[in-house]
Amino acid sequence: MKMVKSLILGSAAGLVVLGGAQAADLPVKAKAVEYVKICSLYGAGFYYIPGTDTCIKLSGYLRADVVANENSDAAYANASLAGTRYGNSFTWRSREDLDVDTRTATEYGVVRTFFDATFNWTTDAYAGAGTGASVYGAGAPGNGSSGNVALGGVGVYYAFIQFAGFTIGKAISQFSAPWTNYPGNNFDGLVGGGGTVTGVNQFSYTADFGAGLSGTISFEDPTQYYQAGVLNQGTGTGALGAFGSSDYGGTVAPDIVGMFRVDQAWGLFQASIAAHDNNPAYYGATSLTGHPDDVWGYAGALALSIKNIPTGPGDTINIQGVYTKGATRYNIQDLAGGIGAAVMFGGNSKVAFGTAPDTVFGLGTSQQLIQTWGFRGAYTHNWTPKVFTSVYGAYAGVNYNGTAQALVCANFVATYGAGVTTCNPNYSIGQVGTITGFTPLKNLTFSADLTYTQLYQKMGGTALIPANAATGKPGGVYTLANGNALQLLLRAQRNF
């Protein structure tokens, strides 16, 4: 019995040891997977980045455009207005837009970053080589001719940080109304107000006064979007062409923008002002020729939005007006630039000129500020929850003072000949349009947008125009007359 008891105890001890060894060899239990969690602090679509307290939202759209009677997807191009075989009957663009929005709650408030990039493929255009041959890829940057993304284009629209009221980076100008170029349209080229739809570098501070009241002070980079031209008329008549040549020096000062906004359930009211420094380089080729002094220009705008008007639920009216002196791009905005330069409108025997710089100057003279005024607006009606129609319009006037007219006209007549019986560079632009959209499914919209533009110029007589190889226009005598253009934009867009 004593032997049996010893064997049983020994066996039990061995089993305990064996069991302990086997338990030590078992794998450690895996840590629970941290699944993506919904972040409800900032609205729908936000999720916590795993392992952090930062929320992120991915959004954007995919868009396909077809623009009839135009060589560009944004604004009017000379080739399409010249009435020659180099004009496109249509231009096609496909775009993917991607937004990345992150937000982190801190003891000092929410820190936000926002990034918006676009990837484009746009049909380009043919241009004449002047030899009986043509060249493809002569269109605007970002079409088939540049960008190097599968021969398309890539763009960075917005890239900014927001924290404690500050906005730092590339964002829409604080001067612009919330609808920027689009009071009720898809067409990019409306005059009558500020733009920067694709963002402008800035350092801004916004104070929230409560009850929908806020005010902003902003310092913004003028170089890309707010320089309409300081036109040097040269050392003699005709030396630099009909309207002179742009003659900027380096950037000296940012544009200074102030904005006050009232945002209520009934709609929105906004007042904006801007100061813009015009800094030319030299009268001639070197610093020895001297230069005109810098001159500050300015702009002011009022904007009003009225929501849910009696004509139907969701119906809106958006209107704004603007005045500028030496700050033209706050009226004839960057994507309307094709209208704000010398443009040849259709027909074989007529030409219309309209150039809207910030200033002009001649040898030994000071800069002369160009004045402009304008407005734009739209009324949008929802026929059903899935169908809407908007009617919109815009207008801008451009005025040169007496000194500026004399400087420009000396060059204009010297360039285009004695057939110019009336030289007056003042002009105006009128635009009207309508768009109808259909949304069969949530976030999927099909639309058709028709825009008519009329340029009213004050030049009279005829102009001896040299041959233009790119458009195929022959040299000869052209009648100085008003011009017009018609464009149809068809779009399919899926937001996500």
Domain extents in the chain: 63-76+183-495
Q: Look at the block and give the residue holding tokens 């924290």.
A: 163
Count of H helices and E strands in the chain? Answer: 3, 27
Q: Which pLDDT score, from 0 to 100, does residue 99 have? A: 98
DSSP run (H or E) holding 91 = strand 90-106
Spatial separation of the C-alpha atoms in residues 157 and 287, rounded to whole Å: 36
Q: Which pLDDT score, from 0 to 100, does residue 16 have? A: 36
DSSP code at position 123: -
Q: Which pLDDT score, from 0 to 100, does residue 484 have? A: 87
Q: Backbone phi, then psi, for 413, in 5-degree steps?
A: -70, -40
Q: Quick one: tokens of 134?
A: 């043509």
CB distance 372 to 333 below 8 Å: no
DSSP code at position 352: B
3-state secondary structure at position 468 = strand
Spatial separation of the C-alpha atoms in residues 407 and 236, rounded to whole Å: 10
387-399 and 371-384 as β-strands: parallel, antiparallel, unpaired? antiparallel
CATH 2.40.160 describes domain 63-76+183-495 = yes
DSSP code at position 343: B
**Torsion-angle region of 469 (φ positive above 0: left; ψ -120 to 50: alpha; else: beta):** alpha
Question: Could you please report the per-residue DSSP string of 381-397?
Answer: EEEETTEEEEEEEEEEE
Spatial separation of the C-alpha atoms in residues 479 and 446, rounded to whole Å: 41
Chain centroid to Cα 86, Å, comes to: 26
CB distance 371 to 396 below 8 Å: no
Question: Could you please report the per-residue DSSP string of 10-74?
Answer: HHHHHHHHHHHHHHHHSPPPPPPP----B--TT-TT-EEPTTSSEEEEEEEEEEEEEEET-S-SS
Q: Which pLDDT score, from 0 to 100, does residue 138 have? A: 53
Q: Quick one: tokens of 183?
A: 């009071």
Reported pTM: 0.88
Cβ neighbours of residue 306 under 8 Å, at least 6 residues apart?
266, 267, 316, 317
Q: Which amino acid, 335? A: L
316-325 and 295-307 as β-strands: parallel, antiparallel, unpaired? antiparallel
For 100, 143, 151, 162, 266, the CA distances from 73, given in Å and listed in that order, are: 25, 9, 17, 32, 34
Task: Please give the chain's pLDDT, 496 residues, in tens.
Answer: 444 344 333 444 443 333 444 444 555 555 555 678 999 999 999 999 999 999 999 999 999 999 998 877 766 666 677 778 888 888 999 999 999 999 999 988 999 999 999 999 888 888 888 889 988 875 444 444 444 455 578 899 999 999 999 999 999 999 999 999 999 999 999 999 999 999 999 999 999 999 999 999 999 999 989 999 999 998 776 777 788 899 999 999 999 999 999 999 999 999 999 999 999 999 999 999 999 999 999 999 999 999 989 999 999 999 999 999 999 999 999 998 665 555 555 556 888 888 999 999 999 999 999 999 999 999 999 999 999 999 999 999 999 999 999 999 999 999 999 999 999 999 999 999 999 999 999 999 999 999 999 999 999 999 998 888 888 888 889 999 998 889 999 999 999 9
CB distance 50 to 311 below 8 Å: no
Q: Quick one: tokens of 346?
A: 């259709």
CB distance 79 to 125 below 8 Å: yes
Q: Which pLDDT score, from 0 to 100, does residue 29 have? A: 58
Q: Which pLDDT score, from 0 to 100, does residue 469 have? A: 86
For residue 59, the cross-strand partners are 99
